[in-house]
């Protein structure tokens, strides 16, 4: 239900450990950071040692009978209330008076009536949330991220920032490339299944990684399937225990659509089913009707992606052989680290009696100072706890000058490389997708995104850059004569230009549609578009659509 475990740290590259001296290890380690910064695994294969984790915000409605507990561990904050009644009373007073909790240890966790029992009593639930991170299965190059085009963040009145300064600022928000192709070219047009869907599909709901939960379409009681970027793989049953925002039904609706979104018009909500009884669900109207879906209650949780955090080999690199006490219990693990002959140790880099005696999870300093650029100026954000050199005693009692080995927003400057960012906020903001947002972003594109020669683009220039193509299917030769139109977006056109196939769903005609995989070949000076498969069958559709033609 709430069990979490620490994510395993990446290992140190063997080629670093093979170097005989500290300076040589540091130099080799910088080469891996260079490859990571440049997304260049040919220089050094950094991918096994720079592991991304996707952090999400998850919410659920829990039974009001559950005790008030902190929903997840935090080193900075704890709920300052003994029970739900005290929490609600404090929040009500603060909302009335305009006060706040100075230590920021109260959460807005409202209650809701989620149903009525047979005896007429209400089913009350309390909102529960947690933030947790999932280690992604595969590498995610930095070239898949870019700064969001958010002018308000960049041009804040109190301190406007250049692009490079904003990149390393806490104000920055980033876009993840929607394309699943792995290309460093960003896909700047709408797409259903995006790269973030592939990543969120790895994140489990409250049943954890062992979840295997089916979901069923309400009216037909048929099991729904996954919706992926490749339409032809959509027949795989959906495991609803992992976060997703699209699903596909076997039966089409009145508009001929089978692909549906959990959040309806909200593109930013992911959902996962759970069997945890503490989660308040909704009665299943299909239960007891003789279908496959006979569970009395369906329970759901919801999530949004917050940020991508990169773990680096600095977390495991310990060339100075400094003792590590652990991170499970502060008093036990850090007691010896802080106890000294002259009172509490402060990490003084010039005094062995004040230097930390080893490290622990709360004082994790063991990266040699000389790994970073000694001539760079250290700047720190007030909310961050990093950017300082401390003294730590190694196992032999020698005083070593070291810096933090944990996760930074941006690392201190590395000699020859500068700063490298490790945390990338990718959370959605609530006004995205509104009509006003679309108008403002269209105007921004037309007026501020200039060409190489500095000229401002026109609406037609922008439209042409985002153009797709419409292909008409030849009339059916089986059953009623009819045709369909297949619209390929810019991503489909780009795939064809690369010599690959493109897949799309046609318009609904004669009460059905088709899933068509298209290829194109050159005939003289003209491109010829051909059906490679239709609904999984080669060359033509089951009702006789055989050819494609460009719709002018």
Write the pLDDT tens digit of every residue in 404-443. Answer: 999 999 999 999 999 999 999 999 988 887 888 888 888 8
323 lies in some domain: yes
294 lies in some domain: no
First to last CA, the chain: 56
As a whole number, the mean pLDDT across the chain is 88
Chosen domain end from 381, 405, 425: 425
Q: For 99-120, write each residue's pLDDT tens digit.
A: 988 888 888 889 999 999 889 9
Which pLDDT value is given to residue 332? 93
Choice between 188 and 206, residue whose per-residue pLDDT is larger = 206
Which pLDDT value is given to residue 452? 42
Q: For 207-223, write each residue's pLDDT tens digit.
A: 999 999 999 887 777 88
222 lies in some domain: no
Which pLDDT value is given to residue 232? 54
Does the pLDDT at position 139 exceed 50? Answer: yes
Same domain (yes/no): 466, 416 = no
538 lies in some domain: yes
Same domain (yes/no): 390, 489 = no
Same domain (yes/no): 370, 419 = yes
471 lies in some domain: yes
Same domain (yes/no): 407, 474 = no
Same domain (yes/no): 322, 403 = yes
Does the pLDDT at position 377 exceed 80? Answer: no
446 lies in some domain: no
Q: Which long-range contacts (CB under 8 A, 24 or more apart) does 383-391 make?
A: 383/170, 384/408, 384/409, 386/412, 387/412, 389/349, 390/347, 390/348, 390/349, 390/355, 390/356, 390/365, 391/347, 391/348, 391/349, 391/350, 391/351, 391/352, 391/354, 391/355, 391/356
3-state SS class at 61? strand
Chosen domain end from 425, 446, 471: 425
Same domain (yes/no): 335, 399 = yes
What is the Cα–Cα distance from 144 to 367, expressed in whole angstroms? 28
Instruction: Categorize the per-residue pLDDT at 18 as very low, low, confident or very high, splitting at 50, 70 and 90.
Output: very high
Same domain (yes/no): 353, 409 = yes
Which pLDDT value is given to residue 456? 45
Which pLDDT value is given to residue 393? 97
Does the pLDDT at position 379 exceed 70? Answer: no
Instruction: Categorize the per-residue pLDDT at 383 as very low, low, confident or very high, splitting at 50, 70 and 90.
Output: very low
Average pLDDT over every residue of 390-402: 97
Chosen domain end from 383, 405, 425: 425
Q: For 505-550, write each residue's pLDDT tens digit.
A: 899 888 888 999 999 998 888 899 999 999 989 999 999 999 999 9
Q: In this prediction, what percent of the chain has a pLDDT beyond 90? A: 56
171 lies in some domain: no
Which pLDDT value is given to residue 458? 52
3-state SS class at 116? strand
Which pLDDT value is given to residue 36? 98
Which pLDDT value is given to residue 353? 95
Q: In this prediction, what percent of the chain has a pLDDT beyond 70? A: 92
Q: For 60-84, write each residue's pLDDT tens digit.
A: 999 988 788 887 777 778 888 988 8
Same domain (yes/no): 322, 408 = yes
What is the Cα–Cα distance from 58 to 56, expressed in whole angstroms? 6
Number of domains in the chain: 2
Q: For 20-53, write each residue's pLDDT tens digit.
A: 999 999 999 999 999 999 999 999 999 999 999 9
Residue for token pair 């955090």: 309
246 lies in some domain: no
Range of 405's domain? 314-425
């Amino acid at each position: 239900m709430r069990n979490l475990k620490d994510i395993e740290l990446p290992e140190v590259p063997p080629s670093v450990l093979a170097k005989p001296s500290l300076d040589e290890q540091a130099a080799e380690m910088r080469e891996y950071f260079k490859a990571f910064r440049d997304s260049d695994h040919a220089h050094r294969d950094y991918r096994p040692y720079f592991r991304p984790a996707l952090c999400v915000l998850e919410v659920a409605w829990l039974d009001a009978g559950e005790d008030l507990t902190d929903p997840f561990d935090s080193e900075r904050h704890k709920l300052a209330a003994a029970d739900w009644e005290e929490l609600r009373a404090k929040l009500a007073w603060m909302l009335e008076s305009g006060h706040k909790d100075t230590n920021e240890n109260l959460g807005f966790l409202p209650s809701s009536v989620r149903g009525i029992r047979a005896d007429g009593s209400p089913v009350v639930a309390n909102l529960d949330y947690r933030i947790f991170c999932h280690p992604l299965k595969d590498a995610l190059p930095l070239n898949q991220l870019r700064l969001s085009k958010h002018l308000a963040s960049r041009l804040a009145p109190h301190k406007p920032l250049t692009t490079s300064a904003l990149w390393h600022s806490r104000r920055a928000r980033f876009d993840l490339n929607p394309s699943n192709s792995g290309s460093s070219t960003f896909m700047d047009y709408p797409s259903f299944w995006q790269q973030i869907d592939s990543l969120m599909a790895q994140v489990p709901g409250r049943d954890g990684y062992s979840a295997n939960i089916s979901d069923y379409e309400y009216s037909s009681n048929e099991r729904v399937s996954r919706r992926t970027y490749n339409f032809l793989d959509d027949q795989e049953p959906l495991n609803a225990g992992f976060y997703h925002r699209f699903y596909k039904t076997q039966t089409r609706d009145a508009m001929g659509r089978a692909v549906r979104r959990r959040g309806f018009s909200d593109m930013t909500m992911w959902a996962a089913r759970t069997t945890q009884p503490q989660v308040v669900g909704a009665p299943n109207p299909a239960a007891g009707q003789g279908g496959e879906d006979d569970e009395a209650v369906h329970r759901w949780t919801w999530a949004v992606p917050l940020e991508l955090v990169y773990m680096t080999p600095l977390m495991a690199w310990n060339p100075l052989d400094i003792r590590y006490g652990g991170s499970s219990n502060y008093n036990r693990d850090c007691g010896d680290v802080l106890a000294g002959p002259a009172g509490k140790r402060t990490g003084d880099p010039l005094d062995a009696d004040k230097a930390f005696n080893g490290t622990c999870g709360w004082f994790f300093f063991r990266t040699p100072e000389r790994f970073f650029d000694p001539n760079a100026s250290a700047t720190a954000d007030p909310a961050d706890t990093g950017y300082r050199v401390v003294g730590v005693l190694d196992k032999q009692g020698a005083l070593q000058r070291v810096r933090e080995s944990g996760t930074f927003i941006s690392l201190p400057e590395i000699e020859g490389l500068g700063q490298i960012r490790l945390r990338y906020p990718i959370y959605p903001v609530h006004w995205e997708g509104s009509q006003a947002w679309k108008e403002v972003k269209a105007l921004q594109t037309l007026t501020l995104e200039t060409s190489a020669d500095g000229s401002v683009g026109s609406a037609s220039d922008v439209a042409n850059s985002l153009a797709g193509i419409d292909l008409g299917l030849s009339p059916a030769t089986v059953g009623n004569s009819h045709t369909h139109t297949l619209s390929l977006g810019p991503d489909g056109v780009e795939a064809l230009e690369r010599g690959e196939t493109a897949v799309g769903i046609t318009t609904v005609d004669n009460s059905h549609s088709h899933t068509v995989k298209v290829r194109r070949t050159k005939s003289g000076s003209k491109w010829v578009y051909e059906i490679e498969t239709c609904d999984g069958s080669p060359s033509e559709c089951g009702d006789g659509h055989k050819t494609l033609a460009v719709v002018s």
